[in-house]
Structure 1
Amino acid sequence: MNLLIEKFEQLKEIDDNWAQTVREEQKNDTPPENKELVRAFNELFSAARETYKRDAKQTESVFKTYMADDSSWLLEDVISSLEIFFEVSELRKMQSSDEKKAKKVIDYLFDNAIVYFDRQFANAYDELGFETQDSLYNTARVLDGLIGYYIRQHLSPKAMKRDLRMETEFGEEVCGYLVHKISENYHTLQMNTLMDMIRVDNPS
């Protein structure tokens, strides 16, 4: 938490009205003028992500202290950027105690929700070790979105693994297994992504 406070203090030293400056540039979609402010803001955002993962209430308290009533937009951006991290929390907890079970879930999701699709896939939540249908569904949803992003960006296996570690905080073994599954099904995933893009551009 001390790092987050330090980043807020650094921003104040650069621009006492930094929040308004950043907000206006975002709203107007204008190139930032102060490069030092951009660097400091990015460092603040990264620090906020890490502290919010560990202690959401304390992070919110620090935001209110430094931004008063103007904190909601930035805090919402931080929370939104952590959607994947929070939605895969059950799978992350599972893989920390039973990697084999986590890999079984990944296999199931690839076969029933990512590469191929079964509308009733979430009904298996209990046997797969999830608390609710929604938790299994949302795990599949965010992983599918993340994998789709990797395909569209043509990321290398090394880049995919690095990003998976950052976004999910899965262990080395499970991240490697996910990348293996993506590579194994790459052509089909690529075609699925292409068809999804065509449907968006040409709705029936």
Structure 2
Amino acid sequence: MEKKIVISDEQLQFLSKYLNKKFPNLSPQVKIELMDHLICGFEVKGGDDFYQYLSNEENFIKGFINNEVKNVKKTYGKQTWRQFFSFFTSRELLPITILTLFIIFLISKSISNKNAWLIFVVSTHLIMIVSAIFGMINKKPLRKLDEVKYLGAEIWLPFLMVTLADNLGFKNWLIQNEFIFTGYWFFTFIYGVSAYIVLRRQKKIILTKYKALLN
């Protein structure tokens, strides 16, 4: 009967130090999952040289980490869109949605194009400022974690919507068509608020999850 290869405590410690040195920004959760994959792989493939095995698996390790980063980004994006659509499907949020749309339409119809655009820009930047103050995580032990680095990625879309209109030259056309401008502003604002809500929610989850690192 073939003897099963079992990783030693010394090899386990080496693996942990190896990942810490090569990938210092790795989150504890991803590190545990990656170590589990590598240990299982080594025990299945067999062999005596664990250190050579790690060297051979370096491309797999990098690919695994890159996939986890992509998953973090996708997760935040999906959560933001889910929150966005909830403004149209939730009974609690629907009155807020209708009121917001009415106010934006009233502003774009009642005041000059220049002032309407100014309020649009201010409202968008206000969301970003509030998000930066109350949503971002500035705890030093957590800053390099992928979950923290990409936490505020979705909040940039509203800012992009403003700069696109300016840089691509359709700002004047946009503000001269009040219905289109209302829709553009409404989407930008609601998406920004959705991103902020997700930001705050995820901040609480992350701080709770990594509470041990902060003590």
> Same fold judged by TM-score > 0.5?
no
Highest relative contact order (Cα 8 Å, sep 6+), 1 or 2? 2
Structure with larger Rg: 2
User: For the superposition of Structure 1 and Structure 2, which TM-score range results when normalised by the shorter chain?
Assistant: under 0.3
